[in-house]
Amino acid sequence: MTADILIRNVRPFGGEPTDLYIRDGWFAENPTQKPAIEIDGSGHIALPGLVEAHTHLDKTLVGMDWFENRVGPTRNDRILADRRAKQELGIDARRQSARQIMQTLAFGVMHIRSHVDVDTEIGIANIEGVIETRDRLKDLVDVQIVAFPQSGMLVREGTLALMEEALKAGADVVGGIDPASIDRDPVRHLDAIFALAERYQKPIDIHLHEPGDLGAFCLELILERTRALSLQGRVMVSHAYCLGMLDGQRQRSLIDALAAERIAVMTVGSPSAPALPLRILRQSGVVMASGSDGIQGTWEPWGNGDMLERAKYLAQRNGMTNDADLSDAANICTFGGAEGIGLTDYGLSAGCRGDLMLVKARTLAEAVALTPQNRTVIRRGRVVVRDGVMSEELRNVE
């Protein structure tokens, strides 16, 4: 249940103390009469709900037995191991997606874009499971589902038809992966993805791990199709490692083109992949988002889904140490993520969604550097987490 709520003495983004008022689930001007609920914000920093712009809700092993990882080092090794694990470990996409969502809600994550596997072995079962979770938990978290051909699309006959089936079932975004190195036909792969997006009026989010010149070539193909179909502001490229491997003019021209076509870039700040030129991307006007990627899965054993901690990782990975840099990292995990996944009415101003978190810190930079816990999380005017403790009625949700 939501109620009119006044949060007193908070500092939006680390600024001057003020009060925030939520009426009927939306931020509003301060009330003229006493609200139903008042909370003392104790001078804590207020941020809008954190944005998890890239994860895999159907793959997490949160709450399951420890997975002894003996998987080989290549991406193909991991894809094969992941397919086996779905069967051998009995990973239930509905249950596991709910577990991850509830874990990350406690950190203040209220907006999630999740890539969910579609392939010829499981069909769209994972899509259906995460759709069930999305609809069941919609009052707590906004979830976007990307139909994701993890094992390839053209190389596994029937996957393209399953992608279309997933969109008809309720997936929100068309996904893709490494058009050259996995499908071995970047033109056909991208033509198929953009055709689906046009037919079903959906945005696009493509995993692009392709290195160097190969990745740059794929980016150029993505740019061409975005222009041709007027999909500016509706395309995201996830990872885009190639941008961290190019030098000089080619890197700059691609970045300028991404900005011109309003193609967003998502980075997780992985320590094992080339670092993207974050400063250049931001200064050039490219929308930057971030995410946790897999959380405690067969690909990697770590991660907790705390997007404030992810901002710290981005800063560390990119040598961002001054306060302005740390604030930029926080922006990537809030406003950047929101714009990247197409959220509207996002922020702390009157007329925005009544979602916020309170974190105990003196400045936004300190919040990123120290990632304080015991946060208070308010979703559409409902206090769901208070000082790090989940509301009693939500503690066993899965």
- CATH at residue 30: 2.30.40.10
Let me know whether 86 and 121 are in one domain.
yes
Let me know whether 31 and 176 are in one domain.
no
Please give the average per-residue pLDDT across 5-31, as a whole number: 96
Residue at 398 is within a domain:
no
Tokens matching residue 83: 């397919």
Question: Above 80 in pLDDT, residue 217?
Answer: yes
Residues 384/105, Cβ–Cβ less than 8 Å: yes
d(CA 308, CA 288): 15
Contacts of 382 (CB under 8 A, 6+ apart): 1, 2, 3, 139
Residues 211/241, Cβ–Cβ less than 8 Å: yes
The alpha carbon of 293 is separated from its chain's Cα centroid by a whole number of angstroms, namely 8
Let me know whether 10 and 93 are in one domain.
no
The per-residue pLDDT for range 103-127, each reduced to its tens digit, is: 999 999 999 999 999 999 999 999 9
Question: Above 80 in pLDDT, residue 136?
Answer: yes
Residue at 104 is within a domain:
yes
Residue at 395 is within a domain:
no
Report CA-CA distances (Å) from 32 to 129, 348, 349: 45, 19, 17
Question: Above 80 in pLDDT, residue 81?
Answer: no
Residue at 394 is within a domain:
no
Mean pLDDT rounded to a whole number for the chain: 95
- The CATH number linked to 123 is 3.20.20.140
Top-confidence residue, 182 or 64: 182
Q: Give the percent of the chain with pLDDT over 90.
A: 87
Let me know whether 279 and 370 are in one domain.
no
Tokens matching residue 50: 């954190």
Q: Which pLDDT score, from 0 to 100, does residue 64 have? A: 87
Let me know whether 91 and 17 are in one domain.
no
Q: Which pLDDT score, from 0 to 100, does residue 227 have? A: 98
Q: Which pLDDT score, from 0 to 100, does residue 67 have? A: 77
Let me know whether 219 and 178 are in one domain.
yes
Range of the domain at 255: 50-340
Q: Which residues of 278-313 are buried (b: 16+ CB within 10 A; e: fewer)?
A: beebbeeebbbbbbbbbbbbbbeeebebbbbbbbbb
Let me know whether 142 and 15 are in one domain.
no
Of the spans 61-75, 78-92, 146-160, which averages the highest pLDDT? Answer: 146-160
> Directed axis angle between helix 248-260 and helix 212-228, to 10°?
30
List the beta strands (DSSP E) in the chain: 5-12, 18-23, 26-28, 37-40, 45-48, 50-55, 109-117, 142-148, 173-177, 204-208, 235-239, 264-267, 288-290, 355-359, 376-379, 382-386, 389-390
Please give the average per-residue pLDDT across 176-182, as a whole number: 97
Q: Which pLDDT score, from 0 to 100, does residue 200 have? A: 98
Domain count, the chain: 2
CA angle 65, 71, 73 (to 5 degrees): 140
Kindly report which listed range (62-66, 166-170, 379-383) carries the lowest average pLDDT score: 62-66
Residue at 91 is within a domain:
yes
Count the neighbouring beta carbons within 10 Å of the beta carbon of residue 120.
Answer: 13
* Residue (of 275, 294, 277, 295) closest to 286 by Cα position: 277
Let me know whether 300 and 225 are in one domain.
yes
Q: Which pLDDT score, from 0 to 100, does residue 297 have? A: 85
Place of tokens 């969109």: 167
CA angle 189, 272, 287 (to 5 degrees): 60
Let me know whether 137 and 15 are in one domain.
no
Please give the average per-residue pLDDT across 378-398, as a whole number: 95
26-28/18-23 β-pairing? antiparallel
Let me know whether 327 and 360 are in one domain.
no
Residue at 240 is within a domain:
yes
Residue at 112 is within a domain:
yes
Kindly report which listed range (74-88, 235-249, 370-384) carries the lowest average pLDDT score: 74-88
Residues 343/335, Cβ–Cβ less than 8 Å: no
Residue at 305 is within a domain:
yes
Question: Above 60 in pLDDT, residue 1?
Answer: no
Let me know whether 15 and 86 are in one domain.
no
Q: Which pLDDT score, from 0 to 100, does residue 42 have? A: 97
Let me know whether 64 and 157 are in one domain.
yes
Question: Above 80 in pLDDT, residue 85?
Answer: no
Tokens matching residue 264: 């967003």
Question: Above 90 in pLDDT, residue 68?
Answer: no
Residues 219/208, Cβ–Cβ less than 8 Å: yes
* Residue (of 312, 328, 325, 303) closest to 367 by Cα position: 312
Q: Which pLDDT score, from 0 to 100, does residue 2 have? A: 66
d(CA 355, CA 357): 7
